[in-house]
Amino acid sequence: MKIAIEELASCSGCTIAILDLHEALLDVLGKAEIVYAPVIMDVKEPPEGIDLAFVTGAVRNEENKERLRKIRKRAKTVVALGTCACYGGISGLSMLFNKEDMFNYVFRGVETVRPDGVIPKDVPPFLYRAFAVGDIEKVDYYITGCPPKEMYLKKILPALVSGEPLALSKKSVCSECDRVMGAHEHWQLKRRYEGVPDRDHCLLGQGYLCLGAVTFGRCGASCPHSNVPCHGCNGPSLDILREPCRDIYNMMIRRIADLTDKPEAEIEKQIYDVAHTFYPFTIGSLIMEDKGISKIRDLIKERNV
């Protein structure tokens, strides 16, 4: 079994997530050989005959695209590892502004540069937008998570190596959360910094925008468990992926309406910063953008015109 790890536009966190198998990684290495993983070894190009390739990161420039094409060609099985590879991830937020505005701000706008700063030209150009790996090439398996969690990778990796089927939960973050619903008569949306959440009751019921209901699980609801609202880093829940009429935004509004008996229109008036609170991990996904009801189309500035 020959394994490769390819990093595209990413933070390297998914590669670290594989290292975070710790000593269990040695067991995997006993049954499989890593033939290409530039972060840890000096093999410069993916060889032919890869059995299992993990691709992490989004596709943001021409080279990412070329790398992805090459690893797809050379690997029997391609796994999109992590939320960037699956849905574009946080990098997709770059589409909130166009490239020119971004370059102008970074090289000429921030507090420590000069207004006549050089905007690099002798560098590779961006693609017109960010893409998830599956928007560009065929993907055999998706493993979501920013990054995927150790307790699941410990089951998934040996199963992928041995080819044994593996049944895993397909439920949302809420299904893994230990909170109970509390009173919510005078429900008002809070900013996530306001007050101190009560540890026992549903964060959404307390007025915090917790995306647990619309987010795929397999994280043990680690943020709600730590008294922090879910911000959706595992990507959308299965019902949203399956149903064209379901989207992160509208399902959250509907959920709050069901919970509070407030009309949806009234809830929507309280919503703030839709890009960074609803879509920070999925804005770069064509699957999510292509839903007729998605708010992503209204948010992105970079278009292929």
Partner 1 sequence: MTELRITPVTRLEGHAQVRITLNSGNEVERAHFNVMELRGFEKFLIGAAVEEAPRITPRICGICPTSHHLASVKAVDAILGAEPPETARKLRELLNHAQYIHSHAIHFFMLAAPDFLVGHDAPAADRSVIGIAKKDPGLAKKAIEVRKLGQRITEAVGGKPIHPSNAVPGGMSRPLDETARGNLLAMAKGGLAIAKEGWELARTMMDGTDLTLGTVETGFLAMTKEKKYSPYEGTVETMGKDRSPLGSFTGADYTKHITEFSEDWSYLKFTKLANGTFYRVGPQARLNICSSMGTPIADAALKEYRGKFGETVQAPLACNLARYVEFLASCERVVELLEDPAITGTNIRAPVAGVKAARGVGIIEAPRGTLIHDYMVNEKGFIERCNLIVATCQNNYAIDRSVEAVAKPLVKDGKLPEAAANRIEMVIRSYDPCISCATHAIGRRAWPIEIVRSGDGAGKGETLRPHEGDDLLC
Q: Please choose, out of 16-24, 176-184, 256-264, 288-296, the segment that lies near partner 1 by the rule CB under 8 A.
A: 16-24
Residue with the two structure tokens 């008569």: 185
Q: Does 200 bind partner 1 (CB under 8 A)?
A: no
Q: Does 101 bind partner 1 (CB under 8 A)?
A: yes
Nearer of residues 258 and 273 to partner 1, judged by Cβ: 273
Nearer of residues 137 and 239 to partner 1, judged by Cβ: 137
Nearer of residues 246 and 283 to partner 1, judged by Cβ: 283
Positive or negative: CA dihedral 173, 174, 177, 179: positive
Q: Does 25 bind partner 1 (CB under 8 A)?
A: yes
What does the alpha-carbon distance between residue 141 and residue 86 come to, in Å, rounded to a whole number? 9
Residue in 182, 195, 244, 263 binding partner 1, rule: CB under 8 A: 195
Max CA pair span of the chain? 62
**Closest among 247, 272, 222 to 87, alpha carbons compared:** 247
Q: Does 289 bind partner 1 (CB under 8 A)?
A: no
Residue in 139, 177, 211, 223 binding partner 1, rule: CB under 8 A: 223
SS3 304: coil
Question: What's the token pair of residue 71?
Answer: 């690893």
Total of residues contacting partner 1 (CB under 8 A): 87
Q: Does 250 bind partner 1 (CB under 8 A)?
A: no
Residue with the two structure tokens 């574009």: 88
Report the alpha-carbon angle 88-129-80, nearest 5.
25
What does the alpha-carbon distance between residue 199 and residue 203 come to, in Å, rounded to a whole number? 8
- Closest approach of partner 1 to the CB of residue 121, in Å: 6
Residue in 155, 170, 191, 303 binding partner 1, rule: CB under 8 A: 191
Residue in 149, 154, 254, 262 binding partner 1, rule: CB under 8 A: 149
CA distances from 9 to 63, 107, 117, 193 (A): 10, 21, 25, 30
Site for partner 1 in 126-145 (CB under 8 A): none
Question: Is there a cis peptide before residue 147, judged by omega within 30 degrees of 0?
Answer: yes
Asked if residue 283 lies in contact with residue 300, where contact means CB atoms within 8 angstroms, the answer is yes
Q: Does 49 bind partner 1 (CB under 8 A)?
A: no
Q: Does 286 bind partner 1 (CB under 8 A)?
A: no
- Closest approach of partner 1 to the CB of residue 245, in Å: 28
Site for partner 1 in 151-190 (CB under 8 A): none
